[in-house]
Amino acid sequence: MPESLLFYVLSGLAVGASALVIGQRNPMYSVLLLIVSFAALAGLYITLDAPFVAMAQMIIYAGAIMVLFLFVVMLLNAPQEDGADWDRTHPLKRPGFARIGVVLAVLLVAELGWALAKVVSLGSPVGGRADGATIASVREMGRVLFTQYSFAFEATSVLILVAMVGAVVLARREGDV
Amino acid sequence: MIPLSHYLVVSALLFAIGSAGVFLRKNLITILLSVEIMLNAVNLSFVAFGRFNGTVDGQIITFFVMTVAAAEAAVGLALVIALFRGRESLNPDAFTSLKW
- For each of the domains in chain A, give its residue range(s) and CATH number, in order of start: 1-79 (1.20.120.1200), 138-177 (no CATH)
State the pLDDT at residue B44. Answer: 94
Query: If you ran DSSP here, which 8-state letter would residue A124 be given?
Result: S
State the pLDDT at residue B17. Answer: 92
Position A91 confidence tier, pLDDT thresholds 50, 70, 90: low
- For each of the domains in chain B, give its residue range(s) and CATH number, in order of start: 4-91 (1.10.287.3510)
Window 29-88 of B, Cβ < 8 Å to A: 29-30, 32-34, 36-37, 40, 43-44, 47-48, 50-57, 59-60, 62-64, 66-75, 77-82, 84-85
Inform me whether the pLDDT recorded for A174 exceeds 80.
Answer: no
Specify whether the CB–CB gap between A146 and A140 falls below 8 A.
no
Distance (Å, rounded) from C-alpha A44 to C-alpha A54? 8
Q: Which amino acid would we find at residue A15? A: V
CA-derived radius of gyration, chain A: 21
Q: Which of B37, B57, B78 sits opposite A18 (nearest CB)?
A: B37
Distance (Å, rounded) from C-alpha A13 to C-alpha A17? 6
State the pLDDT at residue A97. Answer: 67
Q: What is the ipTM of this complex?
A: 0.90
